[in-house]
Structure formats: C-alpha cells, structure tokens
A and B are shown apart, each in its own frame.
Chain A
Amino acid sequence: MSVGGHFYPTNRVSIFVGALGSGKTELAINTALMLAQEVPVALVDLDVINPYYRVRKVKTELARLGVDVVCPPDALMQADVPALTPAIWGVLSRDDQRGVFDVGGDDIGAIVLGSLRPSLPTGHYAVYFVVNTCRAHSATRADIHLMIDRIERTARVGIDYLINNTNLGPETDAATVVEGRRILGVVAGERGVSVACTGVRPGIAAAVRALDAVTPVFRLRFFMRPPWETEV
C-alpha cells in the first residue's frame, strides 16, 4: 500500500502481524506517527506475549508526539496476564480516527487478533505481515509461508501485504535489506499479495533505494532501545 512512492496505509485500520522479533512494534509505532501528522490516531498494543519491548513501554513519549496508545491501565500494564481493554472495540468501531494494531509475535501472539475477528470492520482494514529474513525461522520461503499459514489460521484473517523489515540491528547494510526484499518478492508472488514497503534505518535509506528503486522505503525511527543507550 503506497501513495506517491511512499508507504501510506489508506484503510481505516492497519494491523501488524508477524513472527516474534520481526519488528512489528517499530513498524506500528512509525506508521501511527506518520498518520498522526494528518489525522487522529489510536495505536493499540495487542501484544500479550512480549514482556518488555512493546508499545506500552513508550506510551508517554508517543502521547507527546500525538499518538493515543490503547493498552491496559497503568497498574496492569506489566501484569503477566493477557489483559485487554474495552477501548480496543472503540477503536475498531469509530470512523473519526485511524487505528493501528500491534499484534504479538508468532501464531501464539495472533490468538488475540483471532478473538477480535468478528469485530473487525469489513472492507476497512488491512493486515500487514512483517518479515525480517535475518531472523532464525524467517530466512527461507518455506519458513515464511509456514508462519503466514499459522498466523492466518490463528488470527482467522488473511494477509493483505508483506513488509520487508530485514535487518541486523545496527549492523544492517543495504545489500542484506534488498536480499530480504528479493525473498519476499517470491513469497508475495506465490501468495498473490504485494510487498507494501521496506522498513529501513535512516542512515541506509539512500543505499537501499539505489539497489531497489521500486519498493517504497519507510524510514524508521526506533523507540525500543536498551537501557545503556539512553541519553545522559
């Protein structure tokens, strides 16, 4: 899904799914921030399996940037239970704002999405499957197909787009990113879907574009940082 060569979701609700550690959270946050430039946005933290690196961790920071984060109330935010807030159904039914959903990883994390299936706004949502081909069990066509099949079965929704988020953290180079895009191109063709964009850290965006002028490049700003990288 792109507008003028840039990644820009046009459906009211954008849902990010994928394997554990594929980068769904960063993609969802950046999508919400981009949409928030134009319209009111609610970013829903549906991740009940990752204990630390999920949207709720940066709720305050995102609120300052104009994104309303929907997650369990403060006292329950770090509870080790799959708590869902009723505000989630509000985001699905309201048409005066955009909704971005960050779903937990693997088919296990997608169980939550399956429970929301009857409430999803037919014709007004898109499901993005995020892939980092540098992750174990996501490096091959067969493994990617297997995870899509499992998530589609558990979430009870079909995948509309793939997102190439191939990276090695700070050691990412453009060739690695574009090799990931190549693998996803094959998978997309086999499933009859398209690759919506390639997510990149800003420093290598130009290098990626030089190797792949077709796929929209989505420059990502990272929020999930380890404690020793905090400012002093």
Chain B
Amino acid sequence: MSHLPRVLMKGNEAFGEGAVRAGCRHTFAYPITPQSELAHFLARRLPEIGGVFVQAESEVSAINMVFGAAAAGARVLTSSSSPGISLMQEGISYIAGARLPCVIVNVMRGGPGLGNIAPAQGDYFQAVKGGGHGDYCQIVLAPASVPEIIEMMILAFDLADRYRNPVMVVGDGVLGQMMEPVEIEPGETRTAPAKPWATDGQGDRPAPNIISSLNIVPEDNERFNLDLAVMYAEIRRGEQRCEEYRLDDAELVLVAFGTVARVAKAVVDRARRDGIRAGVIRPITLWPFPEDSVKRAAARADRFLVVEMSLGQMVEDVRLSVEGEKPVHFFGRPGGLVPTVREVCNEVKRITGVMPGAEDVPAATGVDR
C-alpha cells in the first residue's frame, strides 16, 4: 500500500473517520440526505477494522441501539439529518437520563417538516436547548472544516465519556458534502476509559450493574436532577470553545458557526479592505455557548452581527451574553440557503453606516429577532 501523507475527504466521510480514530467501533444509523455518505463510508470502514455498522429500520430504532451499546460500555455513534434527529429525541433524553455517553451527528438540512435537502442551521434550538423532554443538556460541537470535523469527533467521544453525557456534533449539508485535504494518521486510535458502571456482564461484581432513567420517587429524582445541574455548571465553566478571528481591534463583531463562519471570515477580510474594523467569534461549542468570549467582546466592540442559516436562533444566546450592553443585529437565510459574502457585506455596510441605504436584503431576512 502506497503511503500518502494526506487524503482528500468529504465532510461526511470525516465524521466517520473521526469516529474510527476516536475508537468508535459501533454505529447504528439510517440513511438520509445530505449525510448518507457518512453511513455509506462507515458501512465499509467499520467491518475492515472489526467494527459493526447496522442500518437500523428507523431512526427511533437506531438511537435505542445506541442506548444499548452505550450501556454496555461501547464508544457508539449514530448520525442523521434534521428530520431523523427529531425522531431520535426521546431516545436522547433517555440516554441523558441514564447518564450514558454517546455521540450523535446532525448534518442539518432545510426545514421545518420534510423541508428539503439543502444546507441549514435551523436545528440550533433543538440541539442546545434540549430537544427531548426533561431537564437535560447535551454538549454540542460545531466544526467548520473537514480537518476540524475529525478533531471534533475525537473530542466528542472524549467529552461524552468524561461527563457520561450525550454529545452532538452538528454540521450542515455544505460541510457534509464538501471535500478538503486531511492528514492521515494511521493507527491513531483512542481507547475509552474504564467503565465500571457498564452492563457488560456481572463478572466479579457483588451485584449486577443496572442502567435506567427511571426515578420513581420524586425526591430521588430531584436529587438526580440537582446532580445533573452541578455537572452542567462545571461544563459551562470548563468547556466553552470558540475561535476568535481578527477580533482584537474589532468595532463590529460577526458571530457565526459552521459553514456560515467561513462566509463571515471572508466578509471580515473584505470589510477591512473598506476600512471597517470587523472580526468574527466562531462558537465551536454551541452548548456550552462561549458567553465569556462574547462578554469580553461586548466590553470593547460597538455592535454585533449574528449570521445564521435560519430565522435567528443562536442570536438569542448572543443577546443573553451581551446583556443589552451593545446592539445585536441579525442576518439570516432560512430554509436551505447559504448567505453569500456579498449580501452579508452589504448588511455590514448598512449597519455600520458606511453604505447607508444599502438594500440587498432578501425579504425573508426582514424578521427582527
């Protein structure tokens, strides 16, 4: 086999390859555009290395297979796109309630409903505000390039095991479908930490391990919820991640994640040529939201512009972090469209007063969130 230092990889393949490098050997999924290449890739890759890929009969079935494998101590993955992730919400809540680690990939597409197969970010609320029932939170990672997908998948499995909590990695169709070069690091495989709680056979234990999210006595369940709250606070303090781009002297701060963050960086480079001091905060963890970075920026900058492929969801977390100190504007393309560099540039010029009256704003974005 010829040795190649790098390969050209699709984002969807990178989600799978990242999982493999993280030591994941169990994947249960059901195909859906625009993430099907992920399942296609792992269906071939996992058996090569002694792993298992099962195409479940539905997303509901897939997430419950994940529940079982996670309880048995496996590093386990499922993936889908928006409508399929909606179907999984009950299972995700059960997994969080059972204190089990797993990784879920959502390659988002245009909604609501069946919507379309175009790229979107309209599942932000569902991902970060608890899409299923009950008081639970999941860590949410948002890579913006193919190499970063691999990095984030490895981190996702580590965080899931560290906190015994589900971790979701979100992308959008563009990120899933695009190709970028990534470095091959053969043999780089993590192993999961010891899981003495796993239901992997009683062995020498005095009693069998039991995994359940059932808490019949309200006082017991309150104590369980309060323990979760302590853990969530620890995650909020310790796990915020973001990239700050040309932020030091920025008067205008663009906030965007995933694909849109790359558009935002191109916008900032363009705006600076016109003398507009702009920068980008790119949240890498959507939950916990990188509020510390946004608060620091709010002390220095004049205003914020949040750009999303939605009607405006993350903008609410930016406003919560800014706490009314500075104006927070929003520009979005919902339903399956990617904001172009040109239209975001026009919005930048409009709100900074460099180009008063610039009106290249699509009607759908007139919504003031």
List A residues at the B interface (Cβ < 8 Å).
20-21, 49-53, 78, 80, 106, 108, 132-137, 139-140, 167-169, 171, 179, 183, 226-232
Select A228's contact among B41, B44, B173, B266, beta carbons within 8 Å.
B266
Contact digits for B1-30, partner A, Cβ 8 Å, 1 yes 0 no: 110101111100100010000000000000
Question: Please, which residues of chain A bring their CB within 8 A of the CB of B338?
Answer: 227
Residue on B with the closest CB to A143?
B1
Given A139-B1, A228-B265, A232-B341; A80-B8 close (CB under 8 Å): no
Q: How far is the CA of A133 from the CA of B184 in the complex (A)?
A: 14
Interface 1/0s, chain B 252-272, versus A by CB < 8 A? Answer: 000000010011011000100
Choose, from B122-130, B175-183, B193-201, B243-251, the stretch at the interface: B175-183
Q: Which residue in B8, B10, B119 is a CB contact (below 8 Å) of A168?
A: B8
Which A residues are in CB contact (< 8 Å) with B181? 134, 168-169, 171
Q: Are B180 and A51 in contact (CB under 8 A)?
A: no
Contact of A136 among B2, B7, B173 (CB under 8 A): B7
Task: Please tell me if B116 contacts chain A, counting CB pairs below 8 Å.
Answer: yes
A136 CA to B339 CA, complexed, in Å: 31
Known: A51-B33, A78-B116, A227-B340. A135 touches B259 (CB 8 A): no
Q: How far is the CB of B53 from chain A (nearest CB, A)?
A: 15
| A230-B7 contact, Cβ under 8 Å, with A169-B181, A179-B2 | no
Chain B residue at smallest Cβ distance from A227: B338
Please determine whether A51 and B263 come into contact, CB atoms closer than 8 angstroms: no
3 pairs of A and B residues whose beta carbons are closest in the complex: A168-B181, A228-B262, A227-B338
Interchain CB contact under 8 A, A51 and B8: no
Most-contacted residue by chain A among B4, B41, B116, B119 (CB, 10 A): B4
- Cα–Cα, bound, A80→B180 (Å): 25
B37 within 8 A of A: yes
A51 to B179, CA, bound (A): 14
Q: B87 in the interface, Cβ–Cβ < 8 Å?
A: no
A-B contact count (CB 8 A): 94
**Alpha-carbon distance between A205 and B178 when the two chains are bound, in angstroms:** 24
Beyond the given A20-B37, A80-B33, A134-B7, please list 9 additional residue pairs across the A-B interface where CB-CB is below 8 A: A20-B10, A52-B34, A80-B117, A169-B181, A226-B178, A227-B263, A227-B339, A227-B340, A232-B345
Q: Tell me the nearest residue of chain B to A225, going by C-beta.
A: B178
Q: Mark B332-365, 1 if CB is under 8 A from A, else 0.
A: 0000001111100100000000000000000000
Given A136-B13, A137-B44, residue A169 in contact with residue B180 (CB < 8 A): yes
Identify the interface centre among A133, A139, A183, A226: most chain B CB within 10 Å of its CB: A226
20 CB-based A-B contacts, threshold 8 Å: A21-B10, A51-B117, A52-B34, A52-B119, A53-B177, A134-B4, A134-B181, A135-B9, A136-B7, A139-B2, A139-B4, A140-B1, A228-B262, A228-B265, A228-B266, A229-B266, A230-B341, A230-B342, A232-B270, A232-B342
Q: How far is the CB of A80 from chain B (nearest CB, A)?
A: 5
Instruction: Choose one: B1, B8, B174, B340; the contact of A52 (CB below 8 Å).
Output: B174
Say yes or no: is B118 at the interface (Cβ < 8 Å to chain A).
yes
Output the least CB separation between A139 and chain B (Å): 6
A136 to B14 CA separation, bound complex (whole angstroms): 11
B340 touches A230 (CB 8 A): yes
Query: What residues of chain B lie closer than 8 Å to A132, measured between beta carbons?
Result: 8
Q: Which residue of B lies closest to A226 (CB)?
A: B178
Nearest B residue to A106 by beta-carbon distance? B40
Residues of A within 8 A of B8 (CB): 21, 132, 134-135, 167-169
Q: How far is the CB of B363 from chain A (nearest CB, A)?
A: 20
Cβ–Cβ contact A183 & B33, under 8 A: no
Which residues of chain B come closer than 8 Å to A20, judged between CB atoms?
10, 37, 40
* Docked complex: B209-232 residues within 8 A CB-CB of A: none
Whole-angstrom distance between the alpha carbons of A231 and B342 in the complex?
8
CA distance A136 to B42 in the complex (A): 12
Contact present for A227 and B259 (CB under 8 Å): yes
Distance in Å from the Cβ of B300 to the closest Cβ of chain A?
A: 26
Q: A136-B17, A226-B262 are in contact. Are A171 and B44 (CB under 8 A)?
A: no
- Chain B residues with CB under 8 A of A134: 4, 6-8, 181
